[in-house]
Copies of this chain bind each other. A is one copy, B any other.
């Protein structure tokens, strides 16, 4: 069974939702047969690379609040994060363009290290005094996740490396009707929007599992040559290439 999770590093509910999903998954009997794929979604794609802003100031501006009110908003999010055992800094965090982080997450996916990198990037952004909008910090995190340093440098230096993969994820999100993240899709049948309680994820896993188990695949095509579990291969009749009956 496959769960795809669209998210952005800059999204606190993605950070919290990931922990809640993982709690639901930890209690799921068939967790070993669940594959999790992280997909790209940018909260602020129009922002230029390097144009960063402190989160508190950004929130105050966006919602027309005072810095104190923005701090209170962040305090509420922090309480949700802490309830999941996650560190959360309400001050000193940067907000910015996450395209390069998503490109690196696709490199990490190709190397089997996507969850490792995502976990470290969330921690750096929300729980540590490290700006994930700084290439040298990104390179450090990627190395901690186990990626090859030269490969990471090459991807950061080439703005088109894995760019198509990021855009394809975003187009897929749009096609699936996702307008906000986190957005969880179970076997392309069930969708969950937002940082729901872990019980909702547990329920979705159970439901999707029922559908996933082979009520029966729909067969396509007629008989064709194959090899069975006894090592016997059906052999086509002599003559021109042709499939056997």
**Which residues of B sit under 8 angstroms from A238, Cβ to Cβ?**
72, 75-76
Whether A90 is near chain B, meaning CB under 8 Å from some CB there, is no
Q: Mark A183-217, 1 if CB is under 8 A from B, else 0.
A: 10111111111111100100110010000111011
Q: Is the CB of B13 within 8 A of A231?
A: no
Q: Is the CB of A195 within 8 A of B224?
A: yes
Name which of A117-125, A128-136, A172-180 contacts chain B: A172-180
**Which residues of B sit under 8 angstroms from A231, Cβ to Cβ?**
10, 43-44, 58, 62, 95
In the assembly, what is the distance between CA of A221 and CA of B168, in Å?
26
Number of residues from A at the complex interface, CB < 8 A: 91
Q: Is the CB of B227 within 8 A of A43?
A: yes
Q: Mark A46-61, 1 if CB is under 8 A from B, else 0.
A: 0000000000001000
Given contacts A177-B217, A204-B221, A217-B185, contact A226 B195 (CB under 8 A): yes
Q: Is the CB of B77 within 8 A of A180?
A: no
Most buried by B among A80, A212, A221, A222: A221
Q: Is the CB of A225 within 8 A of B194?
A: yes
Most buried by B among A112, A194, A222, A225: A225
Q: Is the CB of A200 within 8 A of B220?
A: yes
**Which residues of B sit under 8 angstroms from A8, Cβ to Cβ?**
227
**Which residues of B sit under 8 angstroms from A10, Cβ to Cβ?**
227, 231
Whether A29 is near chain B, meaning CB under 8 Å from some CB there, is no
15 more CB-based (< 8 A) A-B contacts, given A11-B226, A191-B219: A12-B233, A13-B226, A43-B228, A58-B231, A73-B235, A77-B236, A79-B240, A175-B213, A180-B227, A180-B228, A182-B226, A183-B226, A188-B217, A194-B221, A196-B224
Q: 9 tightest CB-CB pairs across the interface, nearest first? A: A194-B224, A191-B217, A110-B112, A194-B226, A200-B221, A11-B227, A180-B226, A83-B241, A180-B228
